[in-house]
Amino acid sequence: MATTIFAPPGGGRTYLRDETVDSIDFSPRPDRPRPLRTRTFDDRSTFVGSLVGSFGLTWITYTYIVPFSGLVGFFVCWYLTFVLVYVGVTSLSSPRTVVVDRIVSAVVHAAAALTGLALAWAVAFPFFKGYHALFHMNFLTQDQHGVGPQDAYSHGGVLHAIVGTLIEIVFAVGVALPLGVGAAVFMSEVGGRLAWLVRTVVEAMTALPSIVAGLFIYTVLIVDLHFPKTGFTASMALAVMILPIIARASDVVLRVVPSGLREASLALGASRWQTVWRVVLPTVRPGLATALILGVARGVGETSPVLLTSGASTFMNTNPFNQPMNSLPLYTYTAVRSGEPRFIERGFASAAVLLTLVLALFVIARVLARQKVRA
């Protein structure tokens, strides 16, 4: 077979080429990223073996050698032992970079799992403590009028507290949302000398204790203006809590709007108000929905303001301007501190209903925020 000596252009190593081959490709191979997320069989075996081995080692040491006890301490020791064993086994067959990657991965996954476990436990705990009352449909369809703390779960419910919570939060949002968005528009779109003062006040009110908001409304509306304790006064106290949250979050999302959108609208002849109303606000509508969600989450679970301003009732009241109005946080607080086991369980059940109600409000706000803006 005939061969020829072939030297590539530009010099370099000389190759022997078979005459039957048409050509030789000297082009460099394209760079391919190293797959970081892939795990081989050895990697999975190392992980599972380290997990099982560390569990056995921790079980023997924690149970029979050291004088420790408790489930939480066992899991903490198991995790620390697993990290040490995992790092040691991985370092036998992998370079230092892979070992560091495994350590960081174990820490990050453990932190995420711990956070998710804490959240799941916080959500499931009220359902677990109040499931006897939740199993009765009358708990959601009746009020507590004429029902004592020791009565059976088949009598009474929290319908009056659910209705009161919805009415109070709707009135609070109706007052705080336009004021908060208006303050954010003033700070980000109008500006001027007063913008710095308004931003400082809003940031200071963000950390306002809830009891101070309740005392403010109690002093101004109930003591000075002689308003009765009703759902309206409670909603005003919640509005004081919600207002700085909505204003601060709305100001943040308004700042991220590209200035080119404003300049294009002004160049087409639109006024500043038309630019804000038709360009800026529709652009940040998902962000404004998030601000509303944060405000509702802050206000819907507050107990101190409604404790001072709304009074407590055991009957249904749909008029926020007449007679006391109960709410789920206030009902939960009253029931849990009563000392009666059945009433305490009703309090945990009402907390579970409050969690479900907040989740439903979040879902509704997200769905409305994702709708397309019509021209």
C-beta separation of 307 from 328 below 8 A: no
CATH number for 338 = 1.10.3720.10
Q: Which distant-in-sequence residues (6+ apart) come within 8 Å of 274 by Cβ?
A: 265
Determine the Cα–Cα distance for residues 42 and 184; give it in Å rounded to an integer.
56
If asked whether residues 320 and 222 sit together in one domain, one would say yes
| Domain interval for residue 121 | 41-126
If asked whether residues 49 and 178 sit together in one domain, one would say no
Last residue in a domain, options 107, 126, 145:
126
DSSP code, position 182: H
pLDDT tens digits, one per residue of 117-166: 998 998 899 999 888 888 888 888 888 888 887 888 888 888 989 999 99
Determine the Cα–Cα distance for residues 205 and 197; give it in Å rounded to an integer.
12
Q: Which distant-in-sequence residues (6+ apart) come within 8 Å of 139 by Cβ?
A: 133, 153, 156, 157, 158, 346, 349
Determine the Cα–Cα distance for residues 332 and 303; give it in Å rounded to an integer.
9
- Find where tokens 């420790």 sit: 68
C-beta separation of 315 from 261 below 8 A: no
pTM score:
0.73
The pLDDT value given to residue 369: 64
Task: Count structural domains, the chain.
Answer: 2
Nearest to residue 310, comparing CAs of 235, 206, 375, 256?
Answer: 235
The pLDDT value given to residue 218: 92
pLDDT along the chain (375 residues), means of 10: 49 48 54 61 83 89 80 86 89 83 87 90 89 86 83 86 91 93 89 83 86 91 91 92 92 88 87 87 86 86 87 85 89 87 90 87 72 46
Q: Judge whether 18 lies within some domain.
A: no
If asked whether residues 163 and 122 sit together in one domain, one would say no
